Structure 1
């Protein structure tokens, strides 16, 4: 059965890296990955033209008819309020209840690991970040902006349902892999985050084979630098997961390589959103400098979501090989531009 995939190239370097990911997808289609691509012209250009962000009826059609969405990046300095980016990205995450942001972090070559005496084998973990609650719900208010008495208040929201389902997804993955799990919070300073520890204590009895640890986020951030090899699965709130995932991406070669999946693990077949995490990078947009590997590896997560695990594994092997050959962009040790790096990847993919 043909799976329909919506593609939103978006802003900045998004169209450049997504173009290379789609070239890779064309290769996979020749090998039996049966997908139909539906490209949606959403982003800052459309918003500036007619005010369109992501119309509700279109978002509903995508939800009904597509198995997955591949997103490049959203964010443009010409839209300082980020209205279109909010509606596109957060609209999909929240309206489709994509409660788990899954961030695999795996160093693909020793030279990319910036830590002394550590190799690529020491950086191999997955972060499960809660994706619909926490500090990103937009709850709060401001008083007296621009005055000496200015006050800004932000609230965070953690529900038992939200915490439990994210932790359960992390537990399930850890149990499947035979990996240890660490849950992180800051409940010693923010008592409301104690819900994470309470739910963790309840769930761990259901997963006796999983080695479980709980660490305050500042301690975990430090230990990830000192001993990244001690960590395999990390479960975190929206804010802490966001921060730690970018920190860990730096340990594996940088954001240009980092893929992500926004999924609803409790319901197999639920639509998923897949995107590189480097952002729109407007400072290098249009210059042919963007690293396409984050987008290509996100495509790998997407095809795995569609049931093509072998092709996803081929993508990872090809990424390792182009980095080993230095047939990649300058940010990861090569000399190629975006298009040439995409072609180098395809050449290797055909051989692995």
Structure 2
């Protein structure tokens, strides 16, 4: 199994060290894993002048899966847009045709008090958000800033083809089949023609999945319902921009975005796996970052790209065991638990495995 490791920026390198330790443990037990590391984001800009070097892209394409840390930071915000670290992330998603983003929002019982909502509202929360990743307003053309009638005008194009909606729809329905057979499609069809097409296609696809209950919700209501009654959802599917916003909102229901992994898959389940959080430059290099989301991303990689369910569950159980034992990084710390750093959390997970 060839894995391309991209530590990236900020806390990316230090959380990636802990994730690679988990892979090394499995490799030491006989799992055939080959790891190669490359640059992306700001680190790549500093070293090569661009956020996605051709050598990195070639390594990622040759690999069976990609494990990413985080990209970005204020250091590079002054650069031209095409040179910013985030363009490397968008670029590799596009080049690898990673169209399906899976972001679970799971509340571990031990972290119920860390959520911003009352425990009785979020206890037992387990949502999967399926976000289309390569279309929508983030990639639609034309786009830009130009002068019209003596003033600057910014413009972007929201665009979806029927085939793009169909392929993400099938992914979402198949995931719903493996869970509780409920799928909520989120759109804004009362205002946007693009998402009227989205809803129409989702309804058409639903005929192929009679065992899955399909519902629809406007995005503004969905944002409200995630805070009001999040446990009503099981699987949610939506477009690129709405999914970006809703998945971050859902992540905070769990107490910390530092706990949540994600997967971005192509049509053959080759994927890029990364924590849902950002590069957190304010704590980079201090040994304070929570590596659990990255470690759980390894579990998702073993499950979705390599079909190693037993190994994935083993990692997830180890994380649950560490939390049950009261060990916490600063982002999930509460009185009565033991505050530890990045490396110590990695030690604890390895010991539990």
- What TM-score results when the alignment is normalised by the length of structure 2? 0.91
Out of 127, 130, 142, the residue aligned to residue 128 of structure 1 is 130
Describe the SS at the equivalent of 2:127.
strand
**Using a 3 Å threshold, how does the CA distance of structure 1 residues 221 and 43 change in structure 2: closer, same or farther?**
closer
Size of the aligned set, in residue pairs, is 342
**Using a 3 Å threshold, how does the CA distance of structure 1 residues 58 and 285 change in structure 2: closer, same or farther?**
closer
Cα displacement (A) at 1:119: 6.3
The match for 1:70 is 67
Cα-Cα RMSD: 2.0
Describe the SS at the equivalent of 1:275.
strand
The match for 2:268 is 267
Out of 205, 230, 233, the residue aligned to residue 232 of structure 2 is 230
Q: Which runs of 5+ in 2 are unaligned?
A: none
Q: Describe how 1:1-352 pairs up with structure 2 within 5 A.
A: 3-56=1-54, 58-63=56-61, 65-80=62-77, 81=79, 83-109=83-109, 110-118=112-120, 121-137=123-139, 139=141, 140-144=143-147, 149-264=151-266, 266-268=267-269, 271-304=270-303, 305-333=305-333, 334-349=338-353
Contact 1:12–1:74 (CA under 8 A) maintained in structure 2? yes
Describe the SS at the equivalent of 1:284.
coil
Cα displacement (A) at 1:220: 1.2
**Using a 3 Å threshold, how does the CA distance of structure 1 residues 21 and 256 change in structure 2: closer, same or farther?**
same
Cα displacement (A) at 1:33: 2.5
Contact 1:14–1:74 (CA under 8 A) maintained in structure 2? yes
Contact 1:101–1:261 (CA under 8 A) maintained in structure 2? yes
Equivalents in 1 of 2:45, 2:291: separation in Å?
25
Describe the SS at the equivalent of 1:78.
helix
Contact 1:5–1:69 (CA under 8 A) maintained in structure 2? yes
**Using a 3 Å threshold, how does the CA distance of structure 1 residues 57 and 285 change in structure 2: closer, same or farther?**
closer
Cα displacement (A) at 1:84: 4.9
**Using a 3 Å threshold, how does the CA distance of structure 1 residues 58 and 292 change in structure 2: closer, same or farther?**
closer
Q: Please, which moves more after superposition, 240-249 or 41-50?
A: 41-50
Equivalents in 2 of 1:254, 1:125: separation in Å?
15
Q: Please, which moves more after superposition, 23-32 or 157-166?
A: 23-32
Equivalents in 2 of 1:138, 1:157: separation in Å?
6
- What TM-score results when the alignment is normalised by the length of structure 1? 0.91
Contact 1:9–1:15 (CA under 8 A) maintained in structure 2? yes
Cα displacement (A) at 1:117: 4.4
Cα displacement (A) at 1:58: 4.3
Cα displacement (A) at 1:306: 1.3
Q: Which runs of 5+ in 1 are unaligned?
A: none
